[in-house]
Amino acid sequence: MDLREWLETNGVGGYASSTVCGINTRRYHGLLVAATSPPVGRVVLLSKIDERINGIDLGANQFPGTIHPRGFEHLVSFERHLFPRFEYAAGGVRLRKTIAAIHGENTTVILYEVLEANGDVQLELRPFIASRDYHSLVHANDGVHRETRFDDGVFALQPYDGLPTLFLSAPRARFDAAPDWYFRFEYAIEQERGLDAHEDLFTPGTLTRVLRKGDVLAVIASISDPRGRDGIALFESERRRREMLVKSVGIKGRLGQTLALAADQFIVRRGTDRRTIIAGYHWFTDWGRDTMIALPGLCLTTGRFEDARKILLAFVESVSEGMLPNRFPDGGEAPEYNTADATLWFFVAAQKYLDYTRDDDFVKRHLLPVLRDIIAWHQQGTRHGIHVDEDGFLLAGSAGDQLTWMDAKVGDWVVTPRHGKAVEINALWFNALMILAGYEQRWGTERDARALAIAAARVRVLFRRLFWNEEKESLFDVVRGEECDASIRPNQIFALSLPHPLLDGIYAEKVLATVEKELLTPFGLRSLAASDPKFIGTYIGGPRERDGAYHQGTVWSWLLGPFITALVRVRGDAGVAQASRILDGLERHLEEAGIGTVSEIFDGAAPHTPRGCIAQAWSVGEILRAATEDCARTVRPAQPRAPQLST
């Protein structure tokens, strides 16, 4: 029984996903999860379809104490290249099923191909309908609409008022109405996560079609009426689109080609003419921090410059009081502005965009005014006490605030308190000053460029004095007045890896060595050294236990990107060779958890079991970026970056 997961996304925030064996193990699994207000408003409309050929079940479900049916026993192969593809053998019949989410719409196509058969094959399809918010569960109720329409091979049902109508197109099929509830589907991963794990699903009846060897049935599941649409043609169009994506990417090797296709899953539409990045599947929407970190790898290394422009514009239009949104909520409410680093990562994304595209006009016209405004707000002070302190460093938050990427909080319990002067926030602040200084030198005035460069030089001169921990040969994680947090965390790596590093020479070598010794694993960096008494090696249990471990030793794969950048900068050709070995070792992860993509997190303790989201944008993006920029060394910075002033 193979519980590895597959994922198909549609470019508007919706998706299809389940396990290789066909058992839904999460509330988030579904064959049609529609984004009703792209990229949010996700609804699990069609939970699954269980198939039967000539009376033999191919579907599989878990119920309390049992698994029924056990169709995975007839599964003879699975592959995930352009699409998830399953082959079953039962009763002398060999059947191939291929699932494709169609780009740009809430539509899933399921192809059934009869590869071998001695005679007629009766294919019976039983849809199970949830029709609920993807965070929720549904239970048997009298409110579900049982009235169905079926004509021209198209089944239609709106299960509840205010939710989309589900259309199922199965050409030349027969529909037999038998509305009923199936009770107590059990979702094993929800149980593992300490959440409600049982659901009832409604089935309206069955669709039946007789096929012969060589026949192909294309079933269309959609929230739009599919009459007049050819499912095979839809599938072929999507196949060609994906083939072009892979061909247009100049990243060699299996890891690069696989992740170039995975990158496509995160880039989605926001509004009518903007793009954004889904932070992770299955449950995240678009977050400012994740978007800015992931953008270079997902969009720039893959040549998707127009998507990058539209993403940057979408966030420019949401800047408020010098801050990028931390998160766009699921329900389409106003953005949340509770982050100290997303805004600063915007400067790095802007510089990366310029490095790759040399699109001076776009940066000057659309980004420069906003970047100026951001610096001004940070200098005078903005939300959450974010402001420049007297020493020139950025001070952010107070007790109870979680403004950095280590943001776990349970009720009033702040798991990793990092208010004050956090090391990566100030590395980002230095980079923001330097990047804008370079832009002012190019497009502004020498006076403004010089003022910014002087402010940056002050940070550079004082940085080591403030953050250097001689005892541990590393950087303090946070400085709060006289209090210095000596925890060995990965945040110090950004002093080496950002476009403008703050350390070089022996200090850079020492920080890199400490991070390598205490934090490096085959799948990323630990969020806390295993030698720390607060280290938690496994990410398991209910929400409180998991949030308590989230940044207390859990491995984050996205941190491989900055680590590899630092490794190559500090160790040169030897660093490139070591980085290449790290990336080669990561290939085996492409066959576990979410097949063909990179997980959000892993246990801090061996064997480093993958956890969290099965597909994470900044994990994929940062590995692509590092493979391209650091190992392949294909991108040269746009010049000049900033005034060169003596410190």
Domain ranges of the chain: 5-242, 248-631
202-211 pLDDT, tens per residue?
999 999 999 9
Give me the pLDDT at residue 246, please. 85
CA angle, residues 543, 23, 83, in degrees to nearest 5: 105
Per-residue tokens: 377: 């707000």
The length of the chain, given as a count of residues? 647
Give the H or E element holding residue 68. Answer: strand 66-70
Question: What's the mean pLDDT in 13-23?
Answer: 98
Give me the pLDDT at residue 341, please. 97
The pLDDT of residue 647 is above 50:
no
Per-residue tokens: 333: 């409410």
The pLDDT of residue 622 is above 80:
yes
d(CA 398, CA 460): 25
The pLDDT of residue 423 is above 50:
yes
d(CA 394, CA 347): 15
Q: Which of 593, 596, 592, 597 is nearest to 612 (CA)?
A: 593
541-577 pLDDT, tens per residue?
999 999 999 999 999 999 999 999 999 999 999 999 9
Q: What is the DSSP letter of 117?
A: -
Contact partners, residue 284, CB within 8 Å, separation at least 6:
278, 290, 613
Q: What is the DSSP letter of 605?
A: S
The pLDDT of residue 635 is above 80:
no
d(CA 152, CA 172): 8
Residue type, 359: D
d(CA 492, CA 426): 10
The pLDDT of residue 467 is above 60:
yes
CATH of domain 248-631: 1.50.10.10
CATH of domain 5-242: 2.70.98
d(CA 638, CA 622): 20
Q: Are 408 and 551 in contact (CB under 8 A)?
A: yes
Question: What's the mean pLDDT in 486-505?
Answer: 98
Write the CA distances from 35 to 27, 104, 247, 298, 444, integer angstroms.
16, 11, 29, 21, 43
β-bridge partners, 131: none
Question: What's the mean pLDDT in 235-241?
Answer: 97
d(CA 126, CA 203): 7
Residue 48: half-sphere exposure toward Cβ, Cα within 13 Å:
24
Give me the pLDDT at residue 329, please. 75
Average pLDDT over all residues of the chain: 95
Per-residue tokens: 26: 């999460």
Q: Which of 262, 261, 294 is nearest to 277 (CA)?
A: 294
Q: Residue 232: phi, psi to the nearest 5?
A: -65, -40
Q: State the pLDDT confidence band at 256, using cuts at 50, 70 and 90.
A: confident
Question: What's the mean pLDDT in 625-643?
Answer: 73
Give me the pLDDT at residue 641, please. 54
